[in-house]
Structure 1
Amino acid sequence: MPHPLRIGLLRLADSAPILAADTHGFFRENTILPSVSVEPSWANLADKMTWGVLDAAVMFPPLAFMTMAGTRGRPVQGRLTHALSRGGNMVVLRKLDDAPNLTVTTLNDKKIVFSKWASKITHKPKFAVVHENSTHYLILRRLLNALSVSFEHAIDLVIMPPDQIVTALANGAIDGFCAGPPWGTEACLSGAGFCLARSTDILPNHLEKCLFVTERWLNADKQHLAGLTSALSKAALYCSTPENSIALTDLLARPLKEGGLNLPYAATRCLMPDNALPDGLHFPLDQTIQHTDLQWMIDDMKTLGWLTAFPDHCTA
C-alpha cells in the first residue's frame, strides 16, 4: 500500500532530486506516493513543517534546526535524512556602469573588487539573503569578515525569497545578495550583477540542501526511511549523469502547472553536470550527512546566539 508523503520545496535547482524521483517514479517504486508543494518562501516552508501541513521539506540545516527548536511557534520532531546538494550558492554584486574589470580569483582579488565597487555606491550597500536562519546568511557573513568588511555595520540586510532577488538587483532595490542556484547565474547572465564569490570559495564542498522529515512520518512505518533512501539514491544518480542534463534542465524549466519549477532555462542549463564547474552545484551520490558537515553551521549559529548546543538526534 503506498504511503503518502507531502514534500515542500522552493524554486531552486537543488530541488532537482525530488522532482526527478517524482517524475521518474523512484518514489512509487518504493511504495511512497509523493505530493510536491512549491512554496513561495522559506518562512512558508518552515511554517508548514511546524503545523503539520507537510511531512518533509527540502531545506538548509540551519532553518531545520531552528524549526525543530520551536522558533516557528512550536517544536518539531524531525530529522535531516539525506544530503540533496552541495555547494551552488553565489555572492553577487550589482553591476555598475564602471564596475571594476578584474578577474575575481584570490581573496585579495575579492578585497580589491569589493572595495572599488563599494566606493562607487553613495549609500550603505543593501544585501539580500533568502532567510536569516540560512546557509546563505552564514556564508555571506563569513565572506565579508574575510574581506575585513563588517557584516554587522558596513551593510544593510534584507530578507527576500530567492526567485525575487534578480529582479530586485536589476531594479536597484538591493546592491548584492547571496542565494542558491540558479539565481546567481541568472543575475550574471542577465547583466544585472557579477559574481564576487561562490560559496565553495569560502567552504569547499559544503552541505547545502537536505531532506528534512518529520518523526511522525518516519515512525509511521519502519520501511519509510529505507524507501526514501532507495528513491533518492536513484534520483541523485539521475541528476549527476551528464547524459541527463538536457532532460533535467527541461524538467526544472517547465511551468509549475506542468510539474516543473519555471526556472530560467539558460541559467539552469549552466549548472547541469555536463557544464557545471568543479566548485559549483553538485548532487552527491553519497547522501549521508556527517557530523563534520554540520559542525561549521552549528559553530556559527552558537556564535550568533541562535543555538547553545548541537541538536540531539537531528540526522537519520
Structure 2
Amino acid sequence: MSDASQTNSIATSATSTPSTPTSATSTAAKPELSALTLGFIPLLDAALLVIAREGGFFESEGIEVTLSRENAWSTLRDKVAAGMLDGAHMLAPMPLAMSLGLSRAPCETLAPIVLSRHGNTVVLSERYAEGMLSPSQTSPADNARKLRQLLDQRRLSGAISPPRLAMVYPWSCQHLLLRRWLSLGDIDPQDSVELVALPPPRMVDALREGQIDGFCVGEPWGSLAQHRDVGRIVARGADLMPGHPEKVLGVTASWARRYPSTLAALVRALQAAADWLHSAADAMPRTRGWLALPPYLDRSMSHLDQQPLNNPTADLRIGDELRPRLTDFIVLAQQLQPLLEMRDRQIDSPTVEACYSAVHFDAATHQ
C-alpha cells in the first residue's frame, strides 16, 4: 500500500462537500481498511475518483482515500501488482492483460466497476492532417483514406520513413482504435506506420517536438493539442468503437478476497459520485474545478473551462452503466485476439469472465 507521504500522492482535502445520498455503511459490513491509496492517470475519465474524494463520497462510506497520480500506465500496473496501490483507474483491457501476464508476470486482476466509456481522439500533426476535415464534418474512413493517399504520394517522391503514431499502452482501446482507423484507409499498421507507446501527458509535447506524428489518447490531451495548434483531431474513438468501455476500477483478485467490504465501499462511493454527477445542477462546473486542481489535471484543463466533460469532441461518458456487462468485455477481448496471436497467445473465456464479472458490483449494491 502506498505511503501517503510519497511525492506524487494526493491528499487534497475536500471543500464545499456536496450533499451525498444516505450512506449504506449503517447496514453494510464495516470496511476492513480505513485508509487506502488508489492510482490514476491524469485524464478526464478519472473524474469519478476525484468526485468521490473531493465530494466526500468515500468518506461517507467510512474510508479515507488518497489519490496517487501516476504518469504511465506501466508504472500504475506494476504498483497495483506489487501492492503499492490498493487499486487504480485502469484501461479497460488492462485487468485482462495483467491476468494473462502480457508485458509482465501474471497477476489475477478484476474490474468490479466501469468508470467511463468513449473519450478518445485520433490526432495528427498538421503535416499529415492536410486536407482532412473535422470528425463532425466527415467520416473516420474519409480521413483515413486521405492519409493513405498522402503516404502513397510520399513513397512516390522517395520518402521512406513511415509516420510514427503513439498509443498509450500496447493493451489498450487506444491501440485498437488506432489500428481500426488505419484499416479504414487500407493502411497496414505493421509496414506503413510505426506504432509506439507513450504516456498520455507526454503526447502533446512529443507531437510539438516532432518526436511523433500523431496519437490516439483520452481527453483532455487530444483537444489540448488542437487548442495549441500542435495537431488536428481527425477521428473520434466513439465513431470507431461505439459504446466501448474505456476505463474501469482495477484491483487484484487477492486484494478483493482480503478486503471484500472495503471493495464494496469503493463501489458504493463511486456509484454515489456518478449519481451526483448526473443529477446535481452544479455538478459539471464543480467537477471541472476539482479536476483542474494541481494534484489532478492542473493547467491541462484550462482550455475546457466552458465546456461540459462530455463535449462532442470526444463523446466522453463518465459514470454511465457502471455495472460491468460481460458481453462488452467479450467483444473487447475478441478485438484484442489478433494482437495476442502475434505472440502465439489465446484468450480463454474463463479468464475474461473472472476479470469482468459483475459479482462484486452486485454484492455492493445488492442487485
For residues 85 and 198 of structure 1, the distance between their equivalents in structure 2, rounded to whole angstroms, comes to: 15
Calculate percent identity across the aligned residue pairs.
29
> What secondary structure, in the 3-state scheme, does the structure 2 residue paired with 1:84 have?
strand
Structure 1 residue 101 displacement after superposition: 5.3
Q: Is the 8 A contact 2:118 2:316 kept in 1?
A: yes
**In the TM superposition, what are the counterparts of 1:153-232 in structure 2 within 5 Å?**
153-232=191-270
Q: Is the 8 A contact 1:87 1:280 kept in 2?
A: yes
Q: Is the 8 A contact 1:103 1:109 kept in 2?
A: no
> What secondary structure, in the 3-state scheme, does the structure 1 residue paired with 2:317 have?
coil
Return closer, same or farther for 1:291/1:234 CA change in 2, 3 Å cut-off: same
> What secondary structure, in the 3-state scheme, does the structure 2 residue paired with 1:223 have?
helix
Runs of 4+ in 1 over 6 A off after TM superposition: none
Cα deviation, 1:1-49, whole Å, max 9, x if unaligned, reads: 6622221111111111101101111111111221211112001011111
2:354 alignment partner in structure 1: 313
Residue number among 274, 280, 305 corresponding to 2:315 in the alignment: 280
For residues 95 and 106 of structure 1, the distance between their equivalents in structure 2, rounded to whole angstroms, comes to: 19
Structure 1 residue 221 displacement after superposition: 4.1
For residues 198 and 98 of structure 1, the distance between their equivalents in structure 2, rounded to whole angstroms, comes to: 14
Give the gaps of 5 or more residues in structure 1: none
Give the letter for the 1:249 counterpart: R
Give the letter for the 1:106 counterpart: S
> What secondary structure, in the 3-state scheme, does the structure 2 residue paired with 1:209 have?
strand
> What secondary structure, in the 3-state scheme, does the structure 1 residue paired with 2:246 have?
coil
Higher mean alpha-carbon deviation, 243-252 vs 39-48, is at 243-252
> What secondary structure, in the 3-state scheme, does the structure 2 residue paired with 1:304 have?
helix
2:42 alignment partner in structure 1: 11
Cα deviation, 1:153-178, whole Å, max 9, x if unaligned, reads: 11011111100100111121111100
For residues 120 and 216 of structure 1, the distance between their equivalents in structure 2, rounded to whole angstroms, comes to: 54
For residues 169 and 205 of structure 2, the distance between their equivalents in structure 1, rounded to whole angstroms, comes to: 17
Q: Is the 8 A contact 1:271 1:280 kept in 2?
A: no
Higher mean alpha-carbon deviation, 291-300 vs 115-124, is at 115-124
Residue number among 50, 54, 60 corresponding to 1:29 in the alignment: 60
Return closer, same or farther for 1:124/1:219 CA change in 2, 3 Å cut-off: same
For residues 232 and 167 of structure 1, the distance between their equivalents in structure 2, rounded to whole angstroms, comes to: 32
> What secondary structure, in the 3-state scheme, does the structure 2 residue paired with 1:208 have?
strand
> What secondary structure, in the 3-state scheme, does the structure 2 residue paired with 1:81 have?
strand
> What secondary structure, in the 3-state scheme, does the structure 1 residue paired with 2:80 have?
helix
Q: TM-score, normalised by structure 1?
A: 0.90
Q: Is the 8 A contact 1:50 1:74 kept in 2?
A: no
1:266 alignment partner in structure 2: 302
> What secondary structure, in the 3-state scheme, does the structure 2 residue paired with 1:186 have?
helix
> What secondary structure, in the 3-state scheme, does the structure 1 residue paired with 2:251 have?
strand
Q: Which has the larger radius of gyration?
A: 2
For residues 152 and 216 of structure 1, the distance between their equivalents in structure 2, rounded to whole angstroms, comes to: 37
Return closer, same or farther for 1:83/1:198 CA change in 2, 3 Å cut-off: same
> What secondary structure, in the 3-state scheme, does the structure 2 residue paired with 1:264 have?
helix
Return closer, same or farther for 1:191/1:295 CA change in 2, 3 Å cut-off: same
Residue number among 113, 116, 120 corresponding to 2:146 in the alignment: 113
Higher mean alpha-carbon deviation, 35-44 vs 91-100, is at 91-100
Return closer, same or farther for 1:31/1:218 CA change in 2, 3 Å cut-off: farther
Pairwise CA RMSD of aligned residues?
2.4
Q: Is the 8 A contact 1:302 1:309 kept in 2?
A: no
For residues 299 and 149 of structure 2, the distance between their equivalents in structure 1, rounded to whole angstroms, comes to: 32
Q: Is the 8 A contact 1:237 1:285 kept in 2?
A: no
1:246 alignment partner in structure 2: 285
Q: TM-score, normalised by structure 2?
A: 0.78
1:146 alignment partner in structure 2: 184
Return closer, same or farther for 1:237/1:268 CA change in 2, 3 Å cut-off: farther
For residues 337 and 275 of structure 2, the distance between their equivalents in structure 1, rounded to whole angstroms, comes to: 35
Give the gaps of 5 or more residues in structure 2: 1-29, 361-367
2:13 alignment partner in structure 1: none
Residue number among 86, 91, 94 corresponding to 2:125 in the alignment: 94
Give the letter for the 1:288 counterpart: R
Structure 1 residue 144 displacement after superposition: 0.8
Higher mean alpha-carbon deviation, 120-129 vs 87-96, is at 120-129
